[in-house]
Amino acid sequence: MSSARLAGTVRIVGAGLLGTSIGLALRKQGLDVVVDDLSPANQRLAVDYGAGRAPSTDDEVSLVVVCVPPDVTAKTVALELNANPHAVVTDVASVKSQILSQLAESSCDLSRYVGSHPMAGRERGGAISGRADLFFTRPWVIASNAASSIEAVELVEKLALDLGASPIRVDAQSHDRAVALVSHLPQLVSTLLAARLEHADARDVSLAGQGLRDTTRIAASDAALWLQILSANSERVLPLLEMFESDLATLIEALKDLAKPGALSVIGDLLKRGNSGVEQIPGKHGSQPKQYSRVVVMIDDRPGQLAKLLTEVGEIGVNLEDLKLEHSPGAQVGLPELYVLPEAEVRLVEALAQRGWRIVG
Amino acid sequence: MSSARLAGTVRIVGAGLLGTSIGLALRKQGLDVVVDDLSPANQRLAVDYGAGRAPSTDDEVSLVVVCVPPDVTAKTVALELNANPHAVVTDVASVKSQILSQLAESSCDLSRYVGSHPMAGRERGGAISGRADLFFTRPWVIASNAASSIEAVELVEKLALDLGASPIRVDAQSHDRAVALVSHLPQLVSTLLAARLEHADARDVSLAGQGLRDTTRIAASDAALWLQILSANSERVLPLLEMFESDLATLIEALKDLAKPGALSVIGDLLKRGNSGVEQIPGKHGSQPKQYSRVVVMIDDRPGQLAKLLTEVGEIGVNLEDLKLEHSPGAQVGLPELYVLPEAEVRLVEALAQRGWRIVG
């Protein structure tokens, strides 16, 4: 029995990271999913993975999800609207206005089209990176057009909910302006920064801490895909890059002559503007993160130790809000970080210490 | 009984994040630690935290660790060298050459001075953010000068080892060149990016995914401290910023006229250079990260569930290489990610499924 909001057959076109992940998640909900890909090898892989079945000639499709590269998305949406005259069609491309204007030039029935953009992804692409939980708790933009029917919008919203995502209704223009700032600008800045490492001395790079890793992580993303995304949204990214360039030029001028009156305050102001900017970002799931107290316990790096610790935490009666464990190759110990409500911290630390656990932070 | 390599009394000057963390870690090793700070309130806080005891007039100090802001580090090192004629003195400032040239102008005994730079920190500063495990497995740069005695270098190396850090010997010039690339440039780029969010529409920012959070995390760092760091290393950061600026200008030109022949290849090349750059960064602990298989299990968000899961993983006989659990407020489930050796994955998934656990990825 299915607990899904959607019903009938869902057809996924394009078995890359997103298409495969959507298929995996919908199959887990017990839905009938058809997965189609121009590449027979990709399609077979997605089917083997459990993302759906191969299409057949008599499929009665209620919803089509187009998950192909941005530059062929509009064309594919038009094809699917015409081939499935009773189905609602959505896509998952990162830029929405260009697709909409391309579709407006076609003679398609746009009442059955609603654009989507799941704010989720990975640096690694392809069906083999697919994950059923990829969209879990992530924003899912629903960008309807002037012609979209209410039923079509609601159906795509059900898709988002069935995937565990949080649907957000935004028009295509506002969406594209937002992603230029929160996705495309960071991508380019990360790329420009990582490019400086290309021919760097390996010994210099070996001193890298977490800051360099975090700031350059997304620079590992698929270059071909990003070329398409940036092409489709260049007019919205450009002014942001130019404002960035202007701040950079001001910074360089100040650093060139630190003795000049005002130079230090220019740099200080910029650093503080960066502080303020970070504060604008809401917590991971859309609200300010709750502050938990952190208790670090040193355990032996052998099987069962962590389970024993957590069992005892349960016995002590403290609820774990979060848990982090970072593997340190070569270390003979593990340092699990337990996050608990602040009022429970002292009690937990005392009880664990009494039981012989070594608290290190 | 102490298991420490160091012996005698260690004196820490400056009870901020680093001074307090060093004190906490050395105290846990059973060493006698004196913690001194110009601010009586800071000092009392660090002592209360367990980072050491207050100084007394007859302390016989073997090692002084100067943990004051960069702009007063050289002066403080000189004072400590003169006040403790038998002690080795080190500091933890992020830039090493400027301090060395300032000290060279003094008449201090530089045979007893060896600079340090622990490649560890946090966005939050102050004694209250101190952590005994702050340096665990992190690189600890040991920058001796031409006059440093072998004994002094070895003593500072013992300090790093007692803190669980990995000592790396690098001269001051090479160190400052390296951190300009792996620390100071990323800091400024992250700041410039975050500054773009300062007056952004809250609705736009609400679409932010992990990419924006990672690229701007370090922009939350202490502005006053960074102003000093950048001032001390401006001549090495400047050329890197200028190369970044040159790439940025090229990118902007290409985005302005995408129809121009070659424009797309300019952007594509840059994206690929970013890919190559990321590949230059070694794994978190100095080597390529080992690839583990990832098993995601859906559990109820109530006490004891995770402990039960891990106990059963132990019963199945699979060793956990790593574990991640991300708290999702509002969600009724948790999604712990278990990382195991690839050869153990199928066995673990089958055994967990048999025991009724829900595997979602």
Residue B327 lies in a domain: yes
User: Locate tokens 């892989």: which residue?
Assistant: A45
Please give the Cα distance from B101 to B91 (Å, whole number): 14
Residue B241 lies in a domain: yes
Number of domains in chain B: 3
Label residue A30 exposed, middle or buried (CB < 10 Å: 0-12, 13-18, 19+): exposed
Contact residues on chain A for B311, CB-CB shorter than 8 A: 304, 307, 311
Extended beta strands in A165-289, E state: 166-169
pLDDT of residue B285: 37
Of A133, A170, A325, which is closest to B361 when you measure between CB atoms? A133
Residue B188 lies in a domain: no
Residue A223 lies in a domain: no
Q: Which of B113, B142, B170 is the last residue of a domain?
A: B170
Mean local confidence (pLDDT), A297-316: 82
What backbone phi and psi angles, to 5 degrees, belong to B281? -80, 120
Closest CA to B204 of A182, A95, A142, A94: A182
Of A187, A280, A321, which is closest to B211 when you measure between CB atoms? A187
Closest CA to A282 of B202, B199, B123, B217: B202
Taking all residues of chain A, what is their mean pLDDT, rounded to a whole number?
89
Distance to chain A for B14, nearest Cα, Å? 20
Angstrom distances, CA of residue A251 to CA of A197, A254, B71, B222, B306: 21, 5, 20, 17, 49
Quick one: A37 and A158 in the same domain?
yes
Of A202, A219, A242, which is closest to B278 when you measure between CB atoms? A219
Of B133, B206, B224, which is closest to A296 when you measure between CB atoms? B133
**Does residue A312 contact residue A352 with C-beta atoms inside 8 Å?**
yes
Quick one: A21 and A126 in the same domain?
yes
- Best residue of B188, B301, B358 to probe chain A, by most A CBs closer than 10 Å: B188
Closest CA to B141 of B105, B108, B97, B171: B171
* pLDDT digits 0-9 by tens, B135-188: 887 889 999 999 999 999 999 999 999 999 989 999 999 999 999 999 999 999
Q: Is the pLDDT assigned to residue A199 strictly greater than 50?
A: yes
Question: Are A218 and B211 within 8 A, CB to CB?
Answer: yes
Residue A229 lies in a domain: no
Quick one: B245 and B335 in the same domain?
no
Quote the domain boundaries for residue A28: 9-170
Which distant-in-sequence residues (6+ apart) come within 8 Å of A196 by Cβ? B181, B185, B240, B243, B244, B277
Residue B182 lies in a domain: no
User: Locate tokens 């998950």: which residue?
Assistant: A67
Tokens of A306: 């962590």
Mean local confidence (pLDDT), A60-80: 96
Q: Which of A148, A170, A192 is the last residue of a domain?
A: A170
Mean local confidence (pLDDT), A33-54: 91
Quick one: A249 and A160 in the same domain?
no
- Best residue of B168, B185, B255 to probe chain A, by most A CBs closer than 10 Å: B255
Quick one: A138 and A247 in the same domain?
no
Q: Is the pLDDT assigned to residue A143 strictly greater than 90?
A: yes
Residue ranges of chain B whose pLDDT lies below 70: 1-2, 122-124, 283-291, 301-303, 326-334, 361
CA dihedral sign of residues B79, B80, B83, B87? negative
Of A174, A285, A327, which is closest to B322 when you measure between CB atoms? A327
The amino acid at residue B188 is L
Quick one: A299 and A155 in the same domain?
no
Please give the Cα distance from B130 to B280 (Å, whole number): 31
Quick one: A271 and A331 in the same domain?
no
Estimate the share of chain B in helix, then strand, then coil, as percent rounded to the nearest 5: 50, 15, 35
Quick one: A125 and A80 in the same domain?
yes
Reported pTM:
0.78
Tokens of A199: 């021919």
* pLDDT digits 0-9 by tens, A150-167: 999 999 999 999 999 989
Quick one: B248 and B327 in the same domain?
no
Whichever domain contains A318, its CATH number is 3.30.70.260
Tokens of B350: 């089958």
pLDDT of residue B287: 38
Question: Are A204 and B220 within 8 A, CB to CB?
Answer: no
pLDDT of residue A160: 97
What backbone phi and psi angles, to 5 degrees, belong to A213? -65, -45
Quick one: A257 and A277 in the same domain?
yes
- Best residue of A204, A226, A228 to probe chain B, by most B CBs closer than 10 Å: A204
Residue B211 lies in a domain: no
Quick one: A264 and A336 in the same domain?
no
Start-to-end Cα distance in chain A: 48
pLDDT of residue A294: 85
Estimate the share of chain A in helix, then strand, then coil, as percent rounded to the nearest 5: 50, 15, 35
ipTM exceeding 0.85? no
What confidence tier does A333 reach under pLDDT thresholds 50, 70, 90?
low
Whichever domain contains B99, its CATH number is 3.40.50.720
Mean local confidence (pLDDT), A187-211: 94
Rg (CA), chain B: 25
* pLDDT digits 0-9 by tens, A217-260: 999 999 989 999 999 999 999 999 999 999 999 999 999 999 99
H or E element at residue B103: helix B97-104
Quick one: A16 and A101 in the same domain?
yes
Q: Which of A170, A190, A206 is the last residue of a domain?
A: A170
**φ/ψ bin of B8: left (φ > 0), alpha (ψ from -120 to 50), beta (otherwise):** left
Question: Are B195 and A321 within 8 A, CB to CB?
Answer: no
Question: Are B211 and A217 within 8 A, CB to CB?
Answer: yes
Residue A198 lies in a domain: no
Question: Are A280 and B307 within 8 A, CB to CB?
Answer: no
